[in-house]
Chains A and B, each alone.
Chain A
Amino acid sequence: MKLTRRQTMLAAMGTAAIAALPIKASAAADDAIAAFTGGAELGEGGITLTAPEIAENGNTVPIEVSAPGAEAIAIFADGNPTPAVATVLFGPLAAEQMAATRIRLAGTQDVVAVARMPDGSFVQARQEVKVTIGGCGG
């Protein structure tokens, strides 16, 4: 494909805009995740996080997590003033280890779901959500 000068300019501008937008992930998020995992390695797979790619209103962003067989799932938003969002513990009568809820996001950032498996391992899923209007007031 041959790029015209106009296309190149547009592409460059788009990349710059995307790079500038996300709120910087805070070290607090890593700390919060470490508090849940006890510093264990995070694997991949076995957990699904469903979140919208673009959320118009950061005050209520619908998300859904599911991790078959998990004991617990913790959800984090790494750009929020307090990164922890919720921790779900599943009891013996939870049919499938899934939960759906609505969360607040202060701005464009990654939402992270970490599941604790019965064998003590941890898996994570991560998805970026672009937020048009932040949901933390101020």
Chain B
Amino acid sequence: MAENVKPRVRVPGTASAGEVITIKTLISHTMESGQRKDDDGNTIPRSIINRFVVDFNGENVIDVQLEPAISTNPFFEFQATVPESGTFNFTWYDDDGSVYTEAKDITVS
């Protein structure tokens, strides 16, 4: 289930050094829980994103372990400190082994 997976990330373009910024992320994914049944009564196998990691210039911001109870199109909002200009790297790990990544630059003025 790796088609049509599109990460969306909102990070401010600029910040002052040490500023606290709010980051919002969303990735389109069905997050099939493994609890649902199809029309014939067969269980639809679980297929979710099980891990979401955010790093800034190689340093960790958050590392989330996701379970089937996370909604379709997993959304996360959190806060990060920006010590210097650099890049936020967002990584999502799918059950099927796929890895989705997104990067956002931020300039400290």
Contacts and interface: CB of A to CB of B under 8 A. Distances in A.
Contacts of A137: 33, 35-37
Given A81-B35, A94-B80, A95-B80, A102 B62 contact: no
Interface string B10-34: 0000000000110000000000010
Interface in A44-65: 59-61, 64
Contacts of A104: 33, 68-71
A87 interface: yes
Interface string A58-100: 0111001000000000000100111011111111111110111
A101 interface: yes
Contacts of A136: 33, 35-36
A92 B76 contact: no
A80 B34 CA distance: 13
A93 B84 CA distance: 11
Contact of B67 (A86, A90, A94): A86
B78 A91 contact: no
Contacts of B64: 86-89, 99
A98 B83 CA distance: 19
Contacts of A38: none
Contacts of B40: none
30 contacts: A59-B72, A60-B72, A81-B35, A82-B67, A82-B68, A82-B69, A84-B67, A85-B69, A85-B70, A86-B67, A86-B70, A87-B64, A88-B63, A88-B64, A89-B60, A91-B59, A92-B60, A93-B59, A93-B83, A94-B62, A95-B81, A99-B77, A100-B75, A100-B76, A100-B77, A101-B75, A102-B74, A103-B69, A104-B68, A137-B36
